[in-house]
Amino acid sequence: MPTIVIQRRRVVALLAAISCLLAAAGAGVGLASRWMELPDVPGDTLLDLRGEGNLPAYWSTALLLLAGLCLLGVGQAEASRDRRQARAWRALGVIFLYLSADECAQLHELARRIPQSALPDSPLFHWPWVLFGGAAVIVLGMAFWRFLWALPPDTRRNLLLAGALYVGGALGLELLGATIEHQRWSEGLLVLEETAEELLEMLGVVCLLHGLLCHLSRHLPPVTLQVEPTESCRVEPEVN
């Protein structure tokens, strides 16, 4: 039977390289168009890190979708060994599928509909969704604490590192960006903050994928992907 072998290091290196290239390109066009105020910068819309429907947004959505599917796959592989752990893996998979949809549709931006006049005049409330995101991280951390400590040490370290990178970008640097925008500091500084934020988010997901591939290769039996043929797809043997 033919076997497809995933070369973990090459895959992770490729994903990280593409993420870094997109972040660098986005920073370049952002600094040129918004800080230096140059007209008609090539790739401005296509590579804008804060934009929608462009290459960085598509790449982030694809990474999160891939992570969600891998988490569901790990949950399926764990089902025969530990059902409780399998449910936790699947729950994480659903969360990352939601994050993928959120990245694509910008669902968290709905929080911006809250009138600024109804909120305190503070950088902490400049982008209200950061508060909801912070509360969600605390709740999820409490819910998955036992699951994390039941994992093998190497898997736990990889997942914690991935979470630190992703949350540090999505919430920590987002709060810094809110402060820069609220205080009306340099536009160039805001571009650098957005670049670091998006890069940390993408590298956090890449680190998660690395941890999942390591977990599959070291701690689980080989996983087989098989497509079961339906009646309409079955090939009838030839009769001579």
Contacts of 2 (CB under 8 A, 6+ apart): none
Each residue's pLDDT tens digit, 158-192: 999 999 999 999 998 988 988 888 788 888 999 99
Read off the pLDDT of residues 64-78 as tens digits, 9 standing for 90 and up.
999 999 999 999 989
Whether 39 is covered by a domain: the verdict is yes
Euclidean distance between CA atoms 113 and 109, whole angstroms: 8
What total number of domains does the chain contain? 1
- How far, in whole angstroms, is CA 190 from its chain's centroid? 21
Q: How far apart are CA 79 and CA 68, in angstroms?
A: 17
- Please check whether residue 201 lies inside any domain of the structure: yes
- Segments in 48-152 forming alpha helices (H): 55-78, 83-105, 129-143, 145-149
pLDDT over 70 percentage in the chain: 86
> 74: burial class by Cβ within 10 Å (0-12, 13-18, 19+)?
buried
Specify if 3 maps to a domain.
no
The pLDDT value given to residue 227: 72
Is 237 a domain residue? no
Q: Is residue 151 part of a domain?
A: yes
239 in any annotated domain:
no
pLDDT at 233: 57
pLDDT at 109 over 70: no
Give the model confidence (pLDDT) of 139-158 as tens digits: 999 999 999 999 999 999 99
Segment 94-101 shows an average pLDDT of 95
Number of other residues whose CB lies within 10 A of the CB of residue 198: 24
**DSSP for residue 233:** G
Give tens-digit pLDDT for 24-66. 999 999 999 988 888 888 888 899 888 888 999 999 999 999 9
Provide the pLDDT for residue 164.
96
Residue 71 is assigned to a structural domain of this protein = yes
Token pair belonging to 80: 């025969």
Residue 127 near residue 178 (C-beta atoms within 8 A): yes
147 closest CA partner among 201, 202, 92: 92
Q: Tens digit of pLDDT for each residue in 193-212?
A: 999 999 999 999 999 999 99
Predicted local confidence at residue 193, as pLDDT: 93
Cα→Cα distances 75→86, 158, 211, 219, 237, Å:
4, 17, 14, 13, 37
* One-letter identity of residue 147: F
Neighbour-count burial of 132, counting CB atoms closer than 10 A to its CB (0-12 exposed, 13-18 middle, 19+ buried)? exposed
- Whether residue 131 is contained in a domain is answered as yes
Residue-range definition of the domain harbouring residue 166: 8-220
Q: How confident is the model at residue 89 (pLDDT cuts 50, 70, 90)?
A: very high
In this predicted structure, what is the pLDDT of residue 141? Answer: 93
User: At which residue do the structure tokens 């994992």 appear?
Assistant: 151
